Chains A and B, each alone.
Chain A
Amino acid sequence: EVQLVESGGGLVQPGGSLRLSCAASGFTFSSHWMHWVRQAPGKGLVWVSRIKSDGRSTSYADSVKGRFTISRDNAKNTLFLQMNGLRVEDTAVYYCASDPDICTGGGCYSNFNFWGQGTLVTVSS
């Protein structure tokens, strides 16, 4: 059974830092791209960041670029999100999601096939 379990959320003051973790099991972690997606209370889904299966390529939403860093430890099947310079508007449930990046003759199709349960980050003074 595929499992993604996030941890590390909590209450932090503006300007503070948090490190989120996502422990993966039940699939070949090292062959999947991984993403972070967030959802502010009562709002829609927003993509935050992604990392290639080997960790050598990363991308970020403009809203977090320069403040957040995605990384992974394939030996420990764990994804991370280091969040610095947190702002009130970063308050959200943060989900990790796996991406099999399925390739066919027509191209390689990214999708979020499995999600964790989410961890709540609250930025407030």
Chain B
Amino acid sequence: DIQMTQSPPSLSAFVGDRVTITCRASQSISSYLNWYQQKPGKAPKLLIYAASILQSGVPSSFSGSGSGTDFTLTISSLQPEDSGRYYCQQSYKTPYTFGQGTKLEIK
């Protein structure tokens, strides 16, 4: 199975900060990488697919980059509503696997 490793496990930042979360795959997955946001008690929400394509309706402050094994999710200007847990997920091959998540808190 492909292992997905996210860093950091958690982070805290101020409103307006630029925030970056990284995700590393245990083997090359080309651009088959998705990012999700999950708030407590809610279902995940798709943010980015194919490593860099913004899902419809997602604020343009979110962006994704990378290919191969290393990927990043960037929030250009952090807003209070961006708090939550973020997961990367590879769709290169089954079993599809998720990173362990990054908890983002607003200071």
Contact = CB atoms under 8 A, between A and B. Distances in A.
Main secondary structure of the interface of A (DSSP, over half): strand
A97 to B, nearest CB: 8
14 contacts: A35-B96, A45-B36, A45-B98, A47-B96, A50-B94, A59-B95, A106-B31, A107-B32, A109-B50, A110-B91, A111-B34, A111-B46, A111-B49, A112-B46
A106 B29 CA distance: 13
Interface size class of chain B, counting residues whose CB lies under 8 Å from the partner chain: 20 to 34
Interface in A90-125: 95, 102, 104, 106-107, 109-118
Contacts of B32: 107, 109-110
Contact of B43 (A35, A95, A102, A111): A95
Interface string A40-83: 00001111001000000001111000000000000000000000
B87 A45 contact: yes
A117 B42 CA distance: 7
A112 B100 contact: no
Interface residues of A, number: 25
A44 B44 contact: no
A116 B44 CA distance: 9
Contacts of A62: 95
